[in-house]
Structure 1
């Protein structure tokens, strides 16, 4: 089941990250070299596990945001590359830990590290990457940047624990869920975007603009991911449609369908999510209820709302190719639904 949405200003062209990729290409070459260098270790399993996930085909959007947000304010130097690499290592560590917590078997169409090397190795290699990230932050020498990224690391961990506390609980509210994704996903987008203007010595207004941009882009990004699990195509997801359902994950489309349903329908959701009844027939019924109550369309509207906030955050900043590229990223994140 596909979902078609309006993309506002960019409705006549395909939104893309290509402008951002092109602008940051030289910086990302240096980031990729540093990733390979800092993921190395004399302990053979560490680079094996790290490179399994690092080389799995992600777009590396977060480090590109760091490079772009620094360049927007005229930064010249190599601290942006170190911070961008730190951001990517934080993200990779989070994925390694997430897959253990969620007991996930696949990520981007490949077996997760925990399936190949075990849970212990996945957690410990994630910890190694976090340590390397913080070493690079210290090398940069900006206490403000270190504070932003250290705070993000703490918030992400809080989000993981909060997610555990609401897991498989159908009484989870939309506000509860937004609190989880604000911490788990959006906090790192915000930090990745904010450290650029910090090292470029931008004023407080510039720094706040990029922080708000990143936070709201991250919220839109995650909400679109929620929609894709029920309305996307397996080839685009790198996983099977309905994986969130089979894993008993509570996401916004499920929350909306549950709260809008009849007493009998709400019992279905409790049996499925809380009771683990998630076979193919149950998935079909779940998709039908999500469609019946317009859950995907309303989740898309939430994503568009946060995308608009991200766009408005950048509005006061001077026009530039960097700004245009960051604005197009917003449309790209939402256009993934098509």
Structure 2
């Protein structure tokens, strides 16, 4: 599935979005503008603004408010990526050295704060108060998800229930926000916004499940990060959770010990083979498919349209993506 097929119905809107998004990122501080130029070189897929535009188009018309929503979520997304790199002590982002690796943690955190503030100010300036409520809830959830993950890692106590709470808050909350904001920008019908919100929540969980799978079966030249990064960082995701649950206790304890003691390359490949052997990959893929089917059910009753077709295609893209 080609992402260009999905965005073609909002291609013009995305071009205009790029121009407006760049304008909100610059400031009078020279250092900040240097960093902004650096970030813009690492252009992502723009899945989140695409979701905003498609959701708006599904339920009404794209308008100025929709552009504000798209800019807000992309600023928030950029801020969280920067902060995540600081929290995770990551040196790379999308194949480039991370901001914290180049300019240090203090500058990276402040830049992330700047982007978050710009998004909030944009909403206030345009009296988009519903947007503020929705995005504030997303920020709360993302923060709680990060802290729950840290708490669980310290206590070596993560099971499927906790794992899904973490990815729902850390990842799905923002995807859900994109779809809800898009709907809210185009209609006052709360039931419609509710459906798009839940479409995004289920899509977001599947998105993270696929991301976790790529850590075990991705191509580092495509993903931009080494295979086994989660293992190296001691993160326990669903493929490993399932494999550990379905293996003899002695072998499971051995794998846990490897993960908690700065695993070397050979250890990482041992864990990957272990997860594959005990069904972790197949199980996670099946769960991702289930969540995508749930997502589709929330938009099944909408009239057929190019926007609906693109959203359905996006669910397939999530399952098939390689980066």
TM-score by length of 1: 0.91
Partner of residue 272 from structure 2, selected from 263, 279, 287? 287
With over 3 angstroms needed to count, the CA separation of the structure-2 counterparts of 1:100 and 1:76, relative to structure 1, is closer
Structure 1 position 271 matched with structure 2 position 257: yes
CA distance, structure 2, for counterparts of residue 325 and residue 139 of structure 1: 32
Structure 1 position 136 matched with structure 2 position 122: yes
Structure 1 position 208 matched with structure 2 position 194: yes
With over 3 angstroms needed to count, the CA separation of the structure-2 counterparts of 1:169 and 1:110, relative to structure 1, is farther
Question: 2:225 is paired with a residue of what secondary structure?
Answer: coil
Deviation at 1:256, TM superposition (A): 1.5
Q: Contact conserved, 1:31 with 1:82, CA < 8 A, in 2?
A: no
Deviation at 1:114, TM superposition (A): 0.6
Deviation at 1:230, TM superposition (A): 0.5
Q: Deviations over 1:288-314 (max 9, x none)?
A: 210111101111111111100111111
User: RCO higher in 1 or 2 (8 Å CA, sep ≥ 6)?
Assistant: 1
CA distance, structure 2, for counterparts of residue 139 and residue 190 of structure 1: 24
Q: Deviations over 1:44-80 (max 9, x none)?
A: 2223333433431310101111111112222242111
Q: Contact conserved, 1:168 with 1:249, CA < 8 A, in 2?
A: no
With over 3 angstroms needed to count, the CA separation of the structure-2 counterparts of 1:337 and 1:77, relative to structure 1, is closer
Residue 113 (structure 1) aligns with: 99
Superposed, which structure 2 residues align to 1:220-299 within 5 Å? Answer: 220-276=206-262, 278-299=263-284
Q: Deviations over 1:3-59 (max 9, x none)?
A: xxxxxxxxxxxx232233211122112221122111111222223333433431310
Q: Which moved more, 1:86-95 or 1:17-26?
A: 17-26
Superposed, which structure 2 residues align to 1:152-167 within 5 Å? Answer: 152-167=138-153
Superposed, which structure 2 residues align to 1:55-134 within 5 Å? Answer: 55-134=41-120
Partner of residue 323 from structure 1, selected from 282, 288, 308? 308
User: Of Structure 1 and Structure 2, which has the larger fraction of its residues in helix?
Assistant: 2
TM-score by length of 2: 0.95
Partner of residue 290 from structure 2, selected from 294, 297, 305? 305
CA-based RMSD of the aligned residues comes to: 1.6
Q: Contact conserved, 2:53 with 2:62, CA < 8 A, in 1?
A: no
Aligned residue pair count: 323
Unmatched segments (≥5 aa) in structure 2? none
Q: Which moved more, 1:113-122 or 1:148-157?
A: 148-157
Residue 147 (structure 1) aligns with: 133
Q: Which moved more, 1:309-318 or 1:204-213?
A: 204-213
Deviation at 1:206, TM superposition (A): 1.3
Unmatched segments (≥5 aa) in structure 1? 1-14
Residue 28 (structure 2) aligns with: 42
Partner of residue 39 from structure 2, selected from 48, 53, 76? 53
Deviation at 1:111, TM superposition (A): 0.9
CA distance, structure 1, for counterparts of residue 40 and residue 78 of structure 2: 7
Q: Contact conserved, 2:72 with 2:120, CA < 8 A, in 1?
A: yes
Partner of residue 191 from structure 1, selected from 177, 185, 191? 177
Residue 12 (structure 1) aligns with: none
Question: 1:289 is paired with a residue of what secondary structure?
Answer: helix
CA distance, structure 2, for counterparts of residue 163 and residue 121 of structure 1: 25
